Structures are given as structure tokens and as C-alpha cells.
């Protein structure tokens, strides 16, 4: 084989590699990124903060985990307030598996949108800190996140790694969404009705678990329920993050109200009194009002241990509207 043949082979390989890289980057830029922007809740929460939303000084955000997503109908709250000539726009920004530490990624964007009130829904699981924030939750919005020094100090090395990838590293790691993005394009799903774009009534669970099924969970998988009923005695990142979010929002002129979210009585009755008292004592140490709804609703208002159904959601949303007046 002549040297010219070797040169031609290496050139062909180089062109093929560059072409492959270009095609892959094109898929990320033109398919994956648009897919995330329309189909995933988290990027859309950031887009929501930066979008024009009328009179920003009257907006009310309700944040928290899927307990907020499933338990709050923002339209009901807004309608109840409207009868009292209160014109606030109310938004449900609940996100699956959300914790105060994860929500720190949104803090600067949230502050910049100047809401009048932020209602923070919490429960025992909000303070569970065992490992890192799921890397995909950071990867999909890394380019949108701004952390101040205090927030950055609460993040571990793995979490900071996913937030500091350069363009090519970020594009490479987004390969996990290539197939979903292309599949979504082929299916041409109606993104306008997607839960990811719904900040009023984004609930998605519809099937109630039976009493027997829930009792079986308590009996067969008791350790899996501990996250929902245990409050950590030691200081941890979740506790620090919640306190910091509250202080920062208050310093920016936003009123903050903390809400202890409802639990199914079948689960609530298994909570150790010490854990219950410790969480209330912690909340008493935060300079913000808090309202306790943990034990207010019957078992038939829940789909499972922590998520409310249609009846529970309507009742809780109404009670929340009456308990908080955006004056």
C-alpha cells in the first residue's frame, strides 16, 4: 500500500468522523434541544420565569414536588380569589421529585421574575438527602442555571460537574434523549396539551390505589415508605437550601408561605411523633409563616399515600385559597 493510499484512507476517516460529529451535533441542536424545550417540564419552568406574564407584581407561584403538581389546581385558587376582586395570576410549578436543593437551581431566575408570593409545599420527603440530584435534571437545564456562591457551596462535586460541562460535553451527554426526541417527532404528539407546558392544572395521575393495595405496601415494603415519614435530625443540604430560598425571596420583596402538604391518613398514622415535632420545630425556626395541612383530608381524597385525586385536589385548592390572601 502506497503512502498516497494511506493518506487517502486517513483523510476519508477524518471526513467521516467530522461528518458524523456534525450530524450528531445537528441532531442535538435541531431535535434534542427542541424536544426538551417542549416535552420536559424542567426546561419549561425556566422558560416560564423568563416569559412575559402580565403584571409580575401580582403573580403567585406554588412550588414543590409531585405532591404540589397533583394536589393543587391553580385555576380554582385564582377563581376563588377573583370573587374577592383579587386579580393575582396563580401558577402550579410542581415538579416530580423536587427538593429545596434542586429548586436552588431556579432561585435566580425565580427572583428575576419578581413574583408577589411564592408558596412552598413541603413534606418529610422534601428533606431527604441521600446522594446527588439526578444528573439528567441538571444536564437538561445546565445552560439556564445561575448559582450564587452560597448555593454553589451546597452542591457536591458530581452535581457541579454536570453544571460545568462545555458545549461538546453537554451535547455528548444529551445522547440519552436522542431516541425520545426522534420518536416524539415521528409521533407528532400534540405538545400544546402537554403537562410540561401546563402551569395551572398539570396533574397526571388518574387511577386510585385501593385501601388493600396501600396496606400491602406498608406491610411488604415498609422501608420504601420511610422517605415519606422520616425527618432527619441532623442539619443537611435540604434544610439549608429551604432556609436560603426563603431568605433570598424575602430579601427580593417576595412574600413566602410554607405549606405542609396533605398525607393519606394510612401513611400519616405511621409517622413517629418525634419526626412530626422535629419538622414543626424546624419550620418554627424559619422566618416565614407556615400552614399545616398534613392531617386534614380523608383517605378517599388520595390516589396513593401522598398524591391527591380530583376530589382531594379540589378541596385542598379551595382550602389553600382561603388560608392565603394575596393582599
Average pLDDT score over residue span 200-220: 90
Share of the chain above pLDDT 90, in %: 70
Q: What is the pLDDT of residue 193?
A: 46
Q: How confident is the model at residue 176 (pLDDT cuts 50, 70, 90)?
A: very high
pLDDT of 184 higher than 50: yes
What count of Cα atoms within 13 Å lies in the side-chain half-sphere of residue 148?
Answer: 11
CA distance 151 to 184: 35
Summarize the confidence of residues 201-228 as an average pLDDT: 89
DSSP string, 232-289: -SS--HHHHHHHHHHHHHHHTT-EEEEEEPP--HHHHTTS-HHHHHHHHHHHHTSSS-
User: Residue 191: its pLDDT value, please?
Assistant: 45
Mean pLDDT computed over 174-200? 76
The set of cell numbers assigned to 103 is 429548586
Q: What is the mean pLDDT of the chain?
A: 90
- Does the pLDDT at position 228 exceed 70? yes
Domains held by the chain: number: 1
Residue 39 has pLDDT above 90, yes or no: no
Please state which of the ranges 76-90, 133-147, 163-177, 188-202 shows the lowest mean pLDDT.
Answer: 188-202
3-state secondary structure of 166: coil
Say whether pLDDT at 68 is over 90: yes
SS (H, E, C) 40-80: CHHHHHHHHHHCCCCCHHHCEEEECCHHHHHHCCHHHHHHH
Per DSSP bridges, beta strands 117-122 and 255-260 are parallel
Least confident of 1-5, 26-30, 274-278, 323-327: 1-5
Residue 167, pLDDT score: 93
Distance between CA atoms of 30 and 27, rounded to whole angstroms?
A: 5
Q: pTM for the full model?
A: 0.91
Does residue 168 surpass a pLDDT of 60?
Answer: yes
207 DSSP assignment: P
Domain CATH number, residue 246: 3.40.50.1110
What mean pLDDT is predicted for residues 142-160?
Answer: 96
- For residue 123, pLDDT beyond 80: yes
> Is the model's pLDDT at 192 over the cut of 70?
no
- The whole-number average pLDDT for the span 147-172 is 96
Q: How confident is the model at residue 4 (pLDDT cuts 50, 70, 90)?
A: low
How high is the pLDDT of residue 56?
A: 59
Render the burial of 265-282: b for 16+ CB within 10 Å, e for the rest: bbbbeebeeebbebbeeb
Question: What is the domain extent for residue 319?
Answer: 3-323
Across the beta sheet with 255-260, the strand order is 90-92, 60-63, 117-122, 255-260, 290-292
pLDDT digits (tens, 9 = 90+) for 274-316: 999 999 999 999 999 999 999 999 999 999 999 999 999 999 9
- pLDDT at residue 323 is higher than 90: yes
Reported confidence tier of residue 17, pLDDT bands at 50, 70, 90: confident
Amino acid at each position: 500500500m502506497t503512502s498516497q493510499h494511506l493518506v487517502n484512507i486517513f483523510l476519508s476517516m477524518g471526513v467521516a468522523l467530522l461528518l458524523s460529529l456534525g450530524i450528531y451535533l445537528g441532531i442535538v441542536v435541531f431535535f434534542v434541544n427542541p424536544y426538551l424545550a417542549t416535552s420536559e417540564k424542567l426546561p419549561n419552568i425556566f422558560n416560564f420565569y423568563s416569559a412575559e406574564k402580565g403584571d409580575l407584581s401580582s403573580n403567585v407561584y406554588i412550588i414543590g414536588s409531585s405532591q404540589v403538581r397533583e394536589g393543587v389546581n391553580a385555576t380554582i385558587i385564582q377563581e376563588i380569589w377573583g370573587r374577592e376582586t383579587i386579580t393575582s395570576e396563580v401558577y402550579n410549578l410542581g415538579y416530580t421529585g423536587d427538593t429545596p436543593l434542586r429548586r436552588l437551581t431556579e432561585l435566580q431566575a425565580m427572583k428575576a421574575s419578581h413574583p408577589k408570593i411564592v408558596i412552598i409545599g413541603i413534606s418529610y420527603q422534601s428533606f431527604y438527602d441521600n446522594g446527588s440530584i439526578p444528573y439528567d435534571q441538571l444536564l437538561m437545564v445546565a445552560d439556564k442555571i445561575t448559582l450564587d456562591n452560597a448555593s454553589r457551596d451546597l452542591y457536591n462535586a458530581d452535581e457541579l460537574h454536570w453544571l460545568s460541562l462545555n458545549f461538546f460535553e453537554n451535547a455528548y451527554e444529551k445522547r440519552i434523549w436522542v431516541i425520545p426526541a426522534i420518536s416524539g417527532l415521528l409521533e407528532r404528539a400534540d405538545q400544546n396539551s402537554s403537562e410540561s407546558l401546563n402551569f395551572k392544572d398539570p396533574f397526571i395521575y388518574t387511577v386510585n390505589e385501593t385501601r388493600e393495595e396501600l396496606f400491602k405496601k406498608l406491610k411488604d415494603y415498609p422501608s420504601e415508605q420511610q422517605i415519606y415519614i422520616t425527618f432527619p435530625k441532623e442539619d443537611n443540604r435540604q434544610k439549608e437550601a429551604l432556609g436560603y430560598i426563603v431568605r433570598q425571596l424575602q430579601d427580593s420583596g417576595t412574600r413566602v408561605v410554607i405549606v405542609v402538604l396533605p398525607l393519606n391518613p394510612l401513611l400519616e398514622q405511621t409517622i413517629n411523633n418525634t419526626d412530626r415535632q422535629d419538622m414543626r420545630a424546624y419550620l418554627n425556626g424559619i422566618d416565614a409563616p407556615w400552614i399545616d395541612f398534613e392531617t386534614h383530608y380523608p383517605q378517599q381524597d388520595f390516589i396513593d399515600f401522598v398524591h391527591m385525586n380530583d376530589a382531594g385536589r379540589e378541596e385542598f385548592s379551595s382550602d389553600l385559597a382561603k388560608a392565603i390572601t394575596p393582599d
